[in-house]
Structure 1
C-alpha cells in the first residue's frame, strides 16, 4: 500500500530540509513505499529553491507551487488533488509532527483495515512539547465542544496530522475549507459519513524556526461554519453522502 504524504509549505525555508530528510529516512527505514508531495504556497522566502535542491536528494519528493488562491486549506487541497498513493496523510512542514507516529498510523491502518487513522495528543501515550498555553486552552475548549455536539469519544479533531485511505478522501469531496478549518472538515466528514477509524497516541513539538501560520483570531468563525455544516449533515442527510467502502 503506497503512502502519500501531503505537506503545505509557506515560508518554510529554514524547516523544510530537516522535515523532509527526517520523514523520508523514517519511511525508508521501515520499508514503506511512499511519496512526499509538497505544495509551496507562493512562499516569499527561498522555500522553492530549497525544494528544488531537496528533489535532487530525495527521489520520493514531488513539489508544486500553488498559483492561487493561497492559504493553508488551498495548499493542502492542491496536494490532495495530485497524490498517487492508496492512502494519504497530511503533515506540517515544520516537523511538529513525528514521522515515527506516521509509521504507527500506517501500520495500524494495515493491520486493522481502517478507513482512517487519527492521532490524539491528549490520550495516554500522547504528548506535546512547548505548546503555547493560550493555544492549548483554546484547543481543549474547541475539541470539547466538538465532542459534545457530535457525541464523540475522540478528543483531537482539530489536529491536521491524520491518515486516510484514498477512497475515504475521495468520499469527503467537495472540500469547502480554504484555510486551517480544513483540519476540522476532513475528520468530521469522515466520522459523519460513517468511515471507520482508529485512534492512536501521537506527539506534537513546537516549531524550531519561523512563525506559526495559524491566526486564531481570524479562524473562529471559519471553524464554527465547518462544525455547523457537518452537524447539519449528521442530522439531516440521512446517510445520503455516505460512500461505499472498499477494503484494500
Structure 2
C-alpha cells in the first residue's frame, strides 16, 4: 500500500533540499525520550559538521509525543515531522518517511533510546566511502529478555537461510541506506523486519553489517508483543515467494502441481499393476484397490496436483494482464 503524506500526515516543512543525512525515527507513545534523543542527535551532527534533518513519524500516538515534537521544532528547524491520524504500524511509518527524506544517506533508528546516535558517523562513512547500499546494525550484546532473544535468533537464522544474506540481526532498527535504496523499495504490512531482503530483491546487493551498541530501555515499555514473531515468519514467506515467483507464479504452483499429480498417478498405477499381476498369475488377491489407504492418498495427490496447476495457470493469467508486468528497475541508461 502506498501511503501519501497529504492523506495520512500533518507535515512540518518537509522541504526537498540537499543534505548529508536524514535521521528517520518512527515512534508510538515515546514522549519521555524525544527531547533527550533530539539533543543527542543534534550534538553528534554538530560535532561532525553534517547537514541533516531529523524526521519523526508519529504513528498515531495517544500521549503527548506530538506536542513535544512541535515544541522541539520551535527551537530546532532541523526537526521535521509527520503525524498519522491512527496507528498504522512501523512499516507504514518508514515507507512514508522514505518518501519524504531528503538526505544522501538515510539513517533509521528507534525512538526509545536503545539505539545510540553515536553510531551515525561510522554508518555514514561506510555508505559514502565503502559504497554500501545498506548497512544493518547488529546488536551483538542485547539487554532484552530471553523470551525475545531466542525467537529473534531463530528468525534471523531462518531469514539468512532463505534470503542468502549474511546478516546476524535483520530486525535491528538502526540501519543506514543509500538514498537510491529507500526511493526504490516499498515497505508495507510488517515488512520492516526484512528491508535488507526487499532491497536485495530490488537489486541492491551491497549489504553490510556493523556491530552497534544496544542500550537498555530507559523510559516506558516495548510496544511489540509475541504476535510479531508469527507475523514476521509469514512476512518472510511472502517476501521469499513474491521476490522469487512474483512474475512467474506458474513455475511455483505448476511445478508442485505436476509433481503431486504424477505422484498420485504413479501410486494408482502401481496398485493397479499389483492387482493385474495377481490376476495373471492366478494368485488370490483378496484386497480391493479401494480398500487400501494408498488409494485415497493417491486420489488426494491427484486432486491437489490438479488444483495447484490450475492455481498457477490462473495466477499466470493475472500476472500477464497486470499493468506493472513489464516494469523493471533501471539503474543506468545510455542513449
Residue pair 1:21, 1:58 contacting (<8 A) in 2 also: no
Q: Distance in 2 between matches of 1:11 and 1:132?
A: 21
Partner residue of 2:329? 243
Q: Distance in 1 between matches of 2:182 and 2:327?
A: 13
Larger radius of gyration: 2
Q: Distance in 2 between matches of 1:105 and 1:75?
A: 22
Residue pair 1:194, 1:242 contacting (<8 A) in 2 also: no
1:25 to partner: Cα distance:
1.0
Q: Distance in 2 between matches of 1:12 and 1:140?
A: 27
Partner residue of 2:129? 111
Partner residue of 1:52? 70
Tell whether 2:92 aligns with 1:79: no
Equivalent position to 1:91, from 102, 109, 123: 109
The number of residue pairs the alignment matches comes to 236
Q: Between Structure 1 and Structure 2, which shows a larger proportion of strand residues?
A: 1
Tell whether 2:42 aligns with 1:34: no
Cα deviations by residue, 1:69-126 (Å, 9 ceiling, x for unpaired): 532222222322222222212111111111121221111111112211112123xxxx
1:37 to partner: Cα distance:
0.5
Unaligned runs of 5+ in 2: 1-18, 248-325
Q: Distance in 2 between matches of 1:34 and 1:106?
A: 12
Residue pair 2:134, 2:176 contacting (<8 A) in 1 also: yes
Partner residue of 1:213? 223
1:176 to partner: Cα distance:
2.2
Q: Distance in 2 between matches of 1:230 and 1:241?
A: 18
Tell whether 2:185 aligns with 1:172: yes
Equivalent position to 1:134, from 125, 140, 147: 147
Q: Which has the higher contact order (CA 8 A, sep 6+)?
A: 1
Partner residue of 2:173? 160
Q: Distance in 2 between matches of 1:92 and 1:244?
A: 32
TM-score w.r.t. structure 2 length?
A: 0.65
| Partner secondary structure for residue 203 of structure 1 | coil
Unaligned runs of 5+ in 1: none
Residue pair 2:92, 2:188 contacting (<8 A) in 1 also: no
Tell whether 2:217 aligns with 1:199: no
